[in-house]
């Protein structure tokens, strides 16, 4: 790749032109997108597991319908994203094998357990809330297929956030036991949600290049701050307490618009979870491995059918 080619490509990015699958692109740009979109797809698919756990035990039919729809949406997002990654020359089989072998990452957040119904509320409110904050700017990502996929994904994510927050409202405004359940879920999900945005900018190895290529539009710390500022009033409305004694309104922050200062993030916990040592990492990959193995006959049958059709056409 010559410096002229790289400079020309950067000019296209700077003119806000969308890059499409058959356009020439630097190998690093392709590699970054395959990594990020693949990781994103895996997160959606693994993300079905913590909530799938509660579908059979949802407290009412209405709650069950909404949760079922949400988990199905996540499956759809995963397939949509695998397709976007496939436009870059990688196969879904390859990506799945990388997930199962531990080579490809998926979001840290899905390695936490969901022991109570209130977790369905906290996940929708906080995890999907964080996902929206991160994904709205991805609608303007320089790679066309990823940006376009994100438009629909974000619409559905906002339904997910609302269904979660509505569960939190019911619990927080319910009996003392229900309010306690809601508080307990907030206590367990707050910090992992804050960590979802990734390491501090100073430790984010990919950010500078991804920002220059306009794959990322905001840094990890910028999005984390936006999320905290948007979410604290929602916690106040619920009458719940965010588990951070250092949380404090700072009128000077955000160029004088104000924002929250917050406590130190436990990065040891984050990296332990990312490297496979979270409470649910083994369960999650075991479940995905089982689904992949159980589906083998379907893939084989589809392949055999396709071969038969091709042979029929040729004869």
Task: Between 73 and 244, name the residue whose CB sits nearer to ligand ACO.
Answer: 73
Stretch near ligand ACO under the rule CB under 6 A, chosen from 5-13, 31-39, 161-169, 297-305:
31-39
Our CB check for ligand ACO shows the closer of 124 and 259 to be: 124
Residues 73, 160: contact at Cβ < 8 Å?
Answer: yes
In order, the DSSP letters of 90-137 are --HHHHHHHHHHT-S---GGGGS---STHHHHHIIIIIHHHHHHHHTG
Angle between helices 144-172 and 176-195 (to 10 degrees): 150
The correct pick among 107, 225, 231, 281 for binding ligand ACO (CB under 6 A) is 107
Residue 16 Cβ vs ligand ACO, minimum distance, rounded to whole Å: 19
For the bound state, the minimum distance from the C-beta of residue 166 to ligand ACO, rounded and expressed in Å, comes to 18
Q: Would you say 35 or 92 has its CB closer to ligand ACO?
A: 35
Work out whether 105 is an interface residue with ligand ACO (CB under 6 A).
yes
Helix axes 220-238, 144-172, angle to 10 degrees: 20
Site string for ligand ACO, 144-183 (x = CB under 6 A): ----------------------------------------
* Total residue length of the chain: 315
Q: Is 111 in the site for ligand ACO (CB under 6 A)?
A: no
| Six-digit token string for 46 | 């693994």
Among 118, 131, 154, 235, binds ligand ACO (CB under 6 A): 131
The contact mask relative to ligand ACO for 263-282 (x = CB under 6 A, - = no) is -----------x--------
8 Å CB contact between 119 and 192: no
The three-class DSSP label of residue 256 is coil
Calculate the alpha carbon distances from 233 to 64, 121, 258 in Å: 28, 17, 13
Q: Which residues, in sequence order, are bridge partners of residue 10? A: none
Q: Is the Cβ of residue 183 or residue 185 nearer to ligand ACO in the bound state?
A: 185
Applying CB under 6 A, which residues contact ligand ACO?
35-36, 39-40, 43-44, 47, 105, 107-108, 131, 134, 196-199, 204-207, 210, 220, 274
């Amino acid at each position: 790749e010559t410096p002229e080619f790289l400079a020309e490509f950067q000019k296209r990015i700077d003119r806000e032109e969308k890059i499409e699958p058959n356009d020439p692109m630097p190998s690093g740009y392709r590699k970054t997108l395959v990594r990020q979109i693949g990781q994103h797809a895996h997160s959606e698919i693994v993300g079905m597991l913590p909530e799938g756990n509660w579908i059979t035990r949802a407290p009412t039919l209405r709650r069950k319908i909404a949760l079922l729809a949400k988990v199905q949406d996540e499956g759809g997002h995963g397939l949509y994203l695998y397709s976007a990654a496939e436009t870059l020359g990688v196969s879904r089989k390859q990506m799945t094998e990388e997930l199962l072998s531990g080579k490809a990452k998926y979001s840290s957040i899905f390695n936490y357990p969901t022991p109570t119904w209130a977790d369905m509320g906290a996940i929708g409110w906080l995890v999907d809330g964080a996902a929206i904050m991160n994904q709205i700017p991805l609608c303007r990502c320089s790679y066309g297929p990823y940006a376009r996929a994100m438009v629909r994904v974000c619409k559905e994510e906002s339904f997910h956030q609302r269904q979660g927050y509505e569960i939190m409202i019911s619990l927080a405004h319910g009996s003392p036991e229900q309010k306690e359940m809601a508080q307990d879920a907030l206590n367990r999900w707050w910090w992992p949600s804050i960590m979802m945005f990734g390491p501090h900018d100073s430790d984010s190895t990919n950010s500078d290049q991804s920002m220059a290529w306009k794959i990322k539009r905001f840094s990890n710390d910028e999005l984390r701050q936006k999320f905290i500022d948007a979410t604290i009033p929602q916690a106040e409305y619920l009458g719940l307490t965010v588990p951070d004694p250092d949380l404090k309104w700072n009128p000077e922050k955000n160029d004088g618009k104000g924002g929250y200062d917050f406590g130190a993030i436990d990065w040891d916990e984050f990296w332990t979870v990312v490297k496979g040592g979270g409470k649910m990492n083994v369960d999650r990959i075991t479940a995905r491995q089982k689904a992949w193995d159980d589906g083998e006959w379907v893939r084989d049958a589809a392949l055999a059918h396709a071969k038969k059709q091709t042979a029929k056409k040729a004869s």
